[in-house]
Structure 1
């Protein structure tokens, strides 16, 4: 299985490509088709998304996160997003099963 990134930041995409992860930069209006293509690709096991893209498409992302086994969807923070970083994996678990970690 491979990893794939959909982001809105060139620096994030460049950094991930340097470690061998393919992906694409999208504008908010282009996110849904790119996301659906990535989810339909059974070779993708981990899908990294920009936090801003997740926030603007929360229902679509949550539908896949909570109703499909793959891909694992997580956020990848850009350089300017680390200042406001929270434990997104813990938040995902909390939303999925309703308990506070």
Structure 2
């Protein structure tokens, strides 16, 4: 089982390559959708990593994959500039989801 990266940033791709993860750098929505389709066809890909900007380009399609498909596991990561959602987005997510402030 392989890990595949779809990134909008060359630096993120280079860092992932150091960890043995292959991927592509894309900037256009159509190219992202085509790469997603290819990743779904490749049975050897078990984890698909996308950067936040890639998620923004194809949010509806990626969320559909996350919710309806068993494979691959789709993981969203920030790029080299850090998270665009703010530093406390995980605690806000927990609070909004279950109503507990941590």
Which TM-score band (shorter chain)?
0.7 to 0.9
Bigger Cα Rg? 2
Question: What is the aligned partner in structure 1 of residue 80 from structure 2?
Answer: 79
TM-score by length of 1: 0.80
Tell me how far 1:56 sits from its aligned partner. Answer: 2.3
Match status 1:20 vs 2:17: no
Question: What is the aligned partner in structure 2 of residue 33 from structure 1?
Answer: 34
Tell me how far 1:51 sits from its aligned partner. Answer: 0.7
SS of aligned partner of 1:75: strand
CA RMSD of aligned residues (A): 2.1
* Deviations 1:5-41 (CA, angstroms, capped at 9, x unpaired): 0000011000000110000001123111011111211
Runs of at least 4 residues off by over 4 Å: none
Tell me how far 1:45 sits from its aligned partner. Answer: 0.5
Unmatched 5+ stretches in structure 2: none
Q: How does 1:48-87 map to 2 (within 5 A)?
A: 48-82=49-83, 84-85=86-87, 86-87=89-90
TM-score by length of 2: 0.80
CA distance in 2, matches of 1:21, 1:38: 14
